[in-house]
């Protein structure tokens, strides 16, 4: 079996979270970082048409997934909202 010169083969990933390394027949491709991004790799020149191909995908989570601090995530005063008052007062005559 051979791949025709006018054909190509893409390897498509529909939702990688967060980054990945793709190994195909000893060739390494690194996918860009991003949450649930779609990726397409042209693997035509890497495929073996005459025997079995080996594919491995190593998916990495975000570099720092974050955490909620023990004192809470709302700020130093632990308030969700703050009562706001105008800074200037003008006399009102009726």
| 85 found inside a domain | no
Question: Is 41 part of any domain?
Answer: yes
**pLDDT tens-place string over residues 30-47:** 998 888 889 999 999 999
Q: Is position 88 within any domain? A: no
DSSP H helix total and E strand total for the chain: 0, 3
Percent of the chain topping pLDDT 70: 63
Beta-carbon contacts of residue 94 (< 8 Å; ≥ 6 apart): none
Rounded to two decimals, the pTM is: 0.62
CA 19, 31, 46, 26: dihedral to nearest 10 degrees? Answer: -50
State how many domains the chain has. Answer: 1
Residue 70 lies in a domain: no
- Domain residue limits at 19: 10-60
Reading the block at residue 59, the tokens are 């998916």
pLDDT value for 23: 96
What are the pLDDT digits (tens) for 10-69?
999 998 888 999 999 999 999 988 888 899 999 999 998 888 999 999 999 887 766 666
- CA 47 distance to own-chain centroid: 26
């Amino acid at each position: 079996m051979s791949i025709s010169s006018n054909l190509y083969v893409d390897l498509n990933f529909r939702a990688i979270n967060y980054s990945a390394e793709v190994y195909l027949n000893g060739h390494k491709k690194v996918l860009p970082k991003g949450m649930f991004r779609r990726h397409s790799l042209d693997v035509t020149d890497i495929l073996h048409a005459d025997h079995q191909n080996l594919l491995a995908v190593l998916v990495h989570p975000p570099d720092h997934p974050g955490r909620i601090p023990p004192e809470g995530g709302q700020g130093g005063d632990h308030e969700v909202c703050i009562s706001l008052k105008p800074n200037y007062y003008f006399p009102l005559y009726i």
